[in-house]
Amino acid sequence: MSLPFVVVEGPAEVLADAHAELVSLGWEVTEDLTASARSGDRVWSLAVTDDATAALAVLAAVEGAGLLVDARAERATVDRLCDDLRRLGRLDHRIGDPGPLLSAVERRLLDLLSDGVGLGAAATRLHLARRTADRRLASARSTLGVETTTQAIAAHRRRLDRLPRPGGSAPG
């Protein structure tokens, strides 16, 4: 099974967005790294502040844990961590501020639409009025810098395709 290795160097909003993306793909994100957390569909969330916590993260990855890392260490430590994780699998390294982020409702709305659910049914599932769903969809298009809903869905899927899904299924 392919595990996600996500290293974030940026504001808390970027870390929260990465967390939300992992959850939307079906991963359970936890701060508890017990033996049971290293199996199944779990990703360990931790802050790497020095060489010791970076080494702990790499060891956890070697033992089968997916990672969501809040990288706060010195540049050389973060670079070594990223190099080590690349040797173990695909690394999603997010640096800086990516610009505007989708809200949780916008993300969930696009998830439902990409699964083939109509806008009215998606609004009902999200407990939104249809008009509110229209506004949220317009906001998502604006945030993603696209004109159509189809383009918004495609842009959203591309963002999610950077990460593997639980159970070893391929992205996309």
Q: What is the pLDDT of residues 30-81, one digit of tens each?
A: 988 765 555 667 899 999 999 999 999 999 999 888 999 999 999 999 999 9
pLDDT in tens, 76-89: 999 999 999 999 98
pTM, entire model: 0.68
pLDDT digits (tens, 9 = 90+) for 124-165: 999 999 999 999 999 999 988 889 999 888 888 877 777 777
pLDDT of residue 100: 66
Domains and CATH numbers, the chain: 5-99 (no CATH), 104-160 (1.10.10.10)
Residue 101 predicted with pLDDT over 90: no
SS3 letters for the chain? CCCCEEEEECCHHHHHHHHHHHHHCCCEEECCCCHHHHCCCEEEEEEECCHHHHHHHHHHHHCCCEEEEEECCCHHHHHHHHHHHHHHCCEEEEECCCCCCCCHHHHHHHHHHHCCCCHHHHHHHCCCCHHHHHHHHHHHHHHHCCCCHHHHHHHHHHHHCCCCCHHHCCCC
